[in-house]
Structure 1
């Protein structure tokens, strides 16, 4: 069993019926998932960073929302441009990105 260092959850506004509609989806969260996946691959972190898309976290006005465990860090308004910083500062540097935190 894989024991990742970080488990990342990204809201893609996925509904129980499989449809994706909602604020985070409208703000490009599916592209954000792709950006995280690419960064994991580029940095060879597939065993350390595990990624899941989720349904709504209930704080749509702060979306796209990204949650990182085990610390329980919640990031708001995450854009593709922020992904590199999250990897640099949080995953590889060990310190959450303060200005993105909720």
Structure 2
């Protein structure tokens, strides 16, 4: 999860969401989840904080406390992506340009 200053206007807000998500994960001992933070993922364009779930490669945006709770319960516990918060999936979209067609 990005906790850098570029994605959120309130200083420390992203760090607070990161810590909140940690408490939610810690409350579920059955989850085998490694949680880490980064200063900036340079992908949010001010729609952060951004959070990525691997190995699926699902990128979530605008992660606040409520979104973090949904991601933990629906994605990490339930195995269902939180579709309305996704803005990118690894392997889709801007990762590779399509091959030109020979016509």
TM over 0.5: yes
SS in 2 for 1:96: coil
Higher strand fraction: Structure 1 or Structure 2?
Answer: 1
Matches within 5 A, 1:1-102: 10-13=1-4, 21-24=5-8, 26=10, 28-45=13-30, 48-60=32-44, 61-102=46-87
Normalising to structure 1: TM-score of the pair?
0.74
Q: Distance in 2 between matches of 1:58 and 1:45?
A: 32
Task: State the structure with bigger RCO (CA 8 A, min sep 6), 1 or 2.
Answer: 1
| Structure 2: unaligned runs, 5 residues or longer | 88-103
Q: How many residues align?
A: 85
Bigger share in helix: 1
Q: Which runs of 5+ in 1 are unaligned?
A: 1-9, 14-20
RMSD: 1.8
- Once residues 24 and 42 of structure 2 are traced to their aligned partners in structure 1, the CA distance between those partners, rounded to angstroms, is 27
TM-score, length of structure 2 as denominator length: 0.73
